[in-house]
Amino acid sequence: MASADWTPWRPLRLAEDVPASTLAEQLDGGQTFRWSREADGTWVGVFGRTLAALRPGPLGLEWRGPKGATETESALRHYLDADGSQARLSEALPWRSDPVLCSARAAFPGLRILRQDPHEALIGFLCSSNKRILQIRVMVAALAEKLGLPLSDGFHALPTWAALAKADDAVLRACSLGYRAAYLRGTAQKLLARPRWAEEFAGMATKDLLDELQSLPGVGPKVAACVALFGFGRLESFPVDTWVVQALAEAYGLRGWKPAQLEQFGKAHFGEAAGLAQQYLFSAARQGALRPAAVTLPSALARPKSRR
DNA sequence: GTCCAGGTAGGAG
DNA sequence: CTCCTACATGGA
């Protein structure tokens, strides 16, 4: 990457340091699909219209950005929860009485939910159904390159809904979206008529937010939960995907439970930051680091007879 | 060739 | 409401 026009590296001074392995999981573990690791271990990515680079340093995480982009540092600090509000939530999770969560949490110290743009989260997870994380990254990168606003050094922002709504079928097809192209197009057409959608959605109670998201084509319960969690900072949202199903079945003995039941369990067992707990379990399961010992559950959390 | 992937939509029972 | 399946595409 050409780097002549970048600022020098500076420490980001997070309230809590992020080890290199946790940083990698945060940036390349399925929360966002917009970061990539350079050969020297530096991470480069785009969020919103911000292009930035991160790397672990002797004094903690270091950052740099294009010269002249004055808000890179503050954008990064917000994105990475620099003031540590999630540290308290993580501490308050029931890890003391839950050995599975305890080990998953210990495997990824400092892991946080990235505070993404609603737009970024929605586009990313509209592409996510029935796809591996690596393939989602390819799709989202292609969308940005072909339809997004150019930034410096050949990087691009994600496309606007207007750009997606009017994009040629051939262009979308060239992004390897498959049937998800119709999801993006349909959602773009609906949101195009509602330019303040993100602000409107942000003002809603989480339940209403989830309903509103699910009214969009290509958005079901799981994608809505991810957008609420990653894009709207609803830490209580508990997305249930294949990895979480597996983790809860194997480590918590919840075999045969349906996704809606598992979601109910997750919210009841993990509480106000269930989404953060979910991310620990997701990461641990995906890396094969999930402790297989079954958890003894309080009887109050017995399997519900009906969903929701 | 077969199977699977941070699921969803549409239809049948 | 609860199952069941088709869906595009690419990698193992």
Is A222 designated active site?
A: yes
Q: How distant is C1' of B13 from CA of A237, in Å?
A: 32
- For the beta sheet containing A50-57, the strands, ordered from the edge strand earlier in sequence to the opposite edge, are A10-11, A60-64, A50-57, A43-47, A35-37
Nearest nt (C1') to A244 (CA)? B6
- Is residue A156 classed as helix, strand or coil in its secondary structure? strand
Write down the pLDDT at residue A308: 35
Contacts of A219 (CB under 8 A, 6+ apart): A122, A125, A126, A183, A187, A213, A227
Q: Which residues 255-284 in chain A have a CB closer than 7 A to strand C?
A: 258, 260
CB A279 within 8 A of CB A240: no
Whether CB of A186 is under 7 Å from strand C: the answer is no
DSSP H or E stretch at residue A264: helix A259-270
Write down the pLDDT at residue A218: 98
CA distance A141 to A282: 23
Strand B contacts (Cβ < 7 A) comprise A 29-31, 128-133, 135, 179, 183, 214, 216-224, 226, 239-244, 278-279, 282
Write down the pLDDT at residue A305: 47
Q: How distant is C1' of B12 from CA of A62, in Å?
A: 57
**Marked catalytic residue, from A190, A222, A258, A267:** A222
Structural domains in chain A, sorted by start: 3-83 (3.30.310.260), 86-110+234-308 (1.10.1670.10), 118-232 (1.10.340.30)
Write down the pLDDT at residue A303: 55
Write down the pLDDT at residue A289: 84
CB A26 within 8 A of CB A111: yes
Collect the ranges in chain A with pLDDT lower than 50. 299-300, 305-308
Q: Which of A264, A259, A260, A258 is nearest to A297 (CA)?
A: A264
Strand C nucleotides, any atom under 7 Å to a protein CB? 1-3, 7-11
In angstroms, the Cα distances linking A224 to A122, A133, A219, A246 are: 8, 17, 6, 20
CB A14 within 8 A of CB A82: yes
Q: How distant is C1' of B3 from CA of A76, in Å?
A: 40
Whether CB of A131 is under 7 Å from strand C: the answer is yes
Write down the pLDDT at residue A295: 56
Residue nearest to nucleotide B9 (CA to C1'): A218
CB A104 within 8 A of CB A251: no
pTM: 0.95
Residue nearest to nucleotide B6 (CA to C1'): A241
Write down the pLDDT at residue A307: 39
Strand B nucleotides, any atom under 7 Å to a protein CB? 5-9
